[in-house]
Structure 1
Amino acid sequence: MIIRPVAMTDLPALQEIAVESGPGFTSLVDDRDFLAQKVQRSVESFARSVKTPGDENYLFVLEDPETGAIMGTTGIEASVGIQRPLYHYRCRQVVHYSPELKLLRRLDVLDMCHHYVGCSEICTLFLRPQFRRAHAGKLLSRVRFLFMAQHPQRFAETVIAEMRGVADANGQSPFWNWLREHFVDLDFDTVTRMVGTGDNGFIADLMPRHPLYTHLMNENARAVIGQVHHNTRPALNMLEAEGFRHTGYVDPFDGGPTVEAKLADIRSVSGSTACGIQVVENVEPDLDQWHAGGQGRILAITNNGAADFRATVTGSARYLPSRNLLQVPATLAKALKLSNDGRARFMELATSSAGRQPTTIPLRQQREVLHAHR
């Protein structure tokens, strides 16, 4: 498996993913012209020399190098909420109190806002069901943080992720169904398509401007506020393990939570290692060297490029901490565009049976990601 920047030749596969991901996956919509523009914007973003984050979008694809099949996609928006508002509902509580009657009531309300301005957003994470395999989902999720660690000047101090909210078997949102009944008579598919293609002006025009008292909503709508789609739960688990937290902001269409973290505090950023590269032959060390050297551990490895960025997961590399040097087999070095005396970054994903047993990744988080965040 190799992760690389998207190319225009990936457009047919992206359109297939847009169909497979279904309603609610607003960062990819089944519109060839829109997807072509998105790919072109990403190509230009990777090629751009950047000192501070701007209107860049970085879209990656996960490729099977043996077949050329596109297994999934993942992305980063460098700076959101500037060119067009990024709307959310803020969950808060109000207190109604009458001293004369000695009556007090606490009520939950939702306020429309665009709180996140200038933050970076991780998005567009989707692993196609037919390509589920060990570590694919984790690599898709964490490669973004390795890229951000390699190129911090391209990203903001705060990173957010909008998690996909609850939908029924037909892809309909109970939260939106209530809003549609009372305020905006558009079906969920239409709304998510409009938002995905950048047409969100109707939010300011038609959505309620005053606080929404959640106790006035029906039970189905109220129950999904801040909850995630069942296929998104593994992705949320991984982000929580990275240090992301929900601070009370939810999507205005499906009620899904938005989580956030400081870039420097993200586990895969602070816990990854920048190192030198030594290209070696595939010589298997003896057992003591295997354990001491770190070979047998499953590593996510990236080069330090932008337009020529490459990443993969492997158990064949060996880290020499005393020299801050990663030994990489020649075939793998070629796939990652690495050379002797080059630079790379890596982090440990897990351990193989040849190494010690995993101790940091709960079993429930090792399910692969299918639908994740928008």
Structure 2
Amino acid sequence: MTFRLRAARPEDIEPLYEMAKLTGGGFTNLPADRNALEAKLARAQAAFARDDDELGDDQFVLVLENTENGQVRGTCQLFTQVGQQWPFYSYRLTTLTQHSQELDRTVRAELLSLVTDLEGSSEVGGLFLHPNERAGGLGLLLARSRYLFIAMHRLRFAPRILAELRGIIDDAGGSPFWDGVAGRFFGMSFQEADYFNAINGNQFIADLMPKHPVYVAMLDEDARKVIGLPHPTGRAAMRMLEQEGFAYENYVDIFDGGPTMTARTDRVKSIAEATPSTVSDIALDIGERALIATGTLSDFRCAYGRRDIGEDGTIAIDATCARTLEIGVGDEVWSVAR
């Protein structure tokens, strides 16, 4: 089977809705709500249709398509500038050091402070791969295709980029972090708050959340021990982000306490190493394995393939990839080593 990433279309609503029901909660960018997903697709259509190269408040939705049967089996999203419609809140984990001369004792206390430090950053998120397809490197294809999209539309993305990883969710769909921190003030469960945020945004956090720092030592143990930890299913994603140059800098999600990873956009490995080339030849079996992408905005397509970049900068690609991406000699592609 061959797969490719492409721009999402309004008719992708049904497979997206079916996948959203499989996420198990804590997945704000892919809510199991048909109206919310239709709004996301409409916003993505507007973003794909805007052809000026300026940084705006765009959201792009990409889907993973099986080219043999047309089935959509995964999705991912890109946000060009967070915090434009409503504040982008995070908790920042900091340390306060205090010393008593009389007691000859130094005390260091960890604090969670509500901040909007990451406002204006771009974001990669909403990545979900159907459980039946979690093999063959398709998760990596989903993740890294986003960076080729950014490289190909660089002026539409901010200098800094972030990725939020889902935090620890228990078997009942609850969040120990939410129960220990924000849940004490809101009178709603994690699932209720997470769903409300996915549909309406998190302005209610600004309206109701205490603005004073929270002392970590005053939280119960269940909440303390999950701060900054990714959900078990997100550990591989965290490693992939680290390999791309993202780092955890003590920002955590206000709902589930999961880690927020950040990087300078131009230093993300797959963006920095992405190379534009003109296709000079299509062969049966050549060169090194790579991710290869083509097309602008709504015509964007990306797939695994093989490449051989010549001394003149042109590229030869394998026939299967050329067929999957519907390209031929003379077309422009961007590629990065797999």
> Structure 2-normalised TM-score?
0.95
- Residue number in structure 2 paired with 1:208: 210
Give the aligned length.
336
SS of 1:21's partner is coil
In structure 2, relative to structure 1, the CA distance for the partners of 1:148 and 1:103 (3 Å cut) is: same
In structure 2, relative to structure 1, the CA distance for the partners of 1:337 and 1:67 (3 Å cut) is: closer
| In structure 1, distance between residues paired with 2:45 and 2:207 | 34
Question: What is the Cα deviation at residue 199 of structure 1?
Answer: 3.1
SS of 2:297's partner is coil
- Residue number in structure 2 paired with 1:172: 174
Aligned residues of 2:290 and 2:307 also touching (Cα < 8 A): no
Q: Which of 206, 225, 228 does residue 226 from structure 1 map onto?
A: 228
Question: What is the Cα deviation at residue 148 of structure 1?
Answer: 0.7
Question: What is the Cα deviation at residue 321 of structure 1?
Answer: 2.7
Question: What is the Cα deviation at residue 81 of structure 1?
Answer: 1.1
- Is 1:104 the counterpart of 2:131? The answer is no
Residues 282-315 of structure 1 show CA distances to partners (whole Å, capped at 9, x for unaligned) of 3x5xxxxx5xxx2xx321100142110111112x
Residues 171-213 of structure 1 show CA distances to partners (whole Å, capped at 9, x for unaligned) of 2111011125532211111111111123322211222211100
Q: Which of 293, 301, 313 does residue 304 from structure 2 map onto?
A: 313
| In structure 2, distance between residues paired with 1:267 and 1:320 | 19
- Is 1:341 the counterpart of 2:337? The answer is no
| In structure 2, distance between residues paired with 1:121 and 1:111 | 21
- Is 1:324 the counterpart of 2:313? The answer is yes
In structure 2, relative to structure 1, the CA distance for the partners of 1:94 and 1:180 (3 Å cut) is: closer
Letter in 2 for 1:341: G
Alignment of 1:63-212 (within 5 A): 63-179=65-181, 182-212=184-214
| In structure 2, distance between residues paired with 1:221 and 1:330 | 52
| In structure 1, distance between residues paired with 2:139 and 2:276 | 23
Letter in 1 for 2:218: L
- Residue number in structure 2 paired with 1:360: none
| In structure 2, distance between residues paired with 1:95 and 1:236 | 30
Q: Which of 17, 20, 26 does residue 19 from structure 2 map onto?
A: 17
Question: What is the Cα deviation at residue 343 of structure 1?
Answer: 1.1
- Residue number in structure 2 paired with 1:271: 273
| In structure 2, distance between residues paired with 1:228 and 1:82 | 26
- Residue number in structure 1 paired with 2:247: 245
| In structure 2, distance between residues paired with 1:83 and 1:26 | 16
Aligned residues of 1:304 and 1:345 also touching (Cα < 8 A): no
| Range with bigger deviation, 222-231 or 331-340 | 331-340
Letter in 2 for 1:123: G
Q: Percent identity?
A: 35
SS of 1:167's partner is coil
- Residue number in structure 2 paired with 1:299: 290
Runs of 4+ in 1 over 4 A off after TM superposition: none
Question: What is the Cα deviation at residue 117 of structure 1?
Answer: 1.6
Question: What is the Cα deviation at residue 327 of structure 1?
Answer: 1.7
SS of 1:280's partner is strand
Aligned residues of 2:280 and 2:315 also touching (Cα < 8 A): yes
Structure 1 gap ranges (5+): 285-289, 350-374
| In structure 1, distance between residues paired with 2:92 and 2:177 | 15
Residues 16-58 of structure 1 show CA distances to partners (whole Å, capped at 9, x for unaligned) of 1111012100011111111111001111111211322211111
Aligned residues of 1:301 and 1:311 also touching (Cα < 8 A): yes
Letter in 1 for 2:194: T
Aligned residues of 2:76 and 2:127 also touching (Cα < 8 A): yes
> Structure 1-normalised TM-score?
0.86
Aligned residues of 2:283 and 2:316 also touching (Cα < 8 A): no
Letter in 2 for 1:312: A
| Range with bigger deviation, 331-340 or 181-190 | 331-340
Aligned residues of 2:28 and 2:194 also touching (Cα < 8 A): yes
Aligned residues of 2:183 and 2:190 also touching (Cα < 8 A): no
Structure 2 gap ranges (5+): none
Question: What is the Cα deviation at residue 116 of structure 1?
Answer: 1.1
In structure 2, relative to structure 1, the CA distance for the partners of 1:104 and 1:320 (3 Å cut) is: closer
Letter in 2 for 1:306: L
| In structure 2, distance between residues paired with 1:123 and 1:14 | 15
SS of 1:307's partner is helix
Aligned residues of 1:180 and 1:186 also touching (Cα < 8 A): no
In structure 2, relative to structure 1, the CA distance for the partners of 1:193 and 1:321 (3 Å cut) is: same
Question: What is the Cα deviation at residue 281 of structure 1?
Answer: 5.1
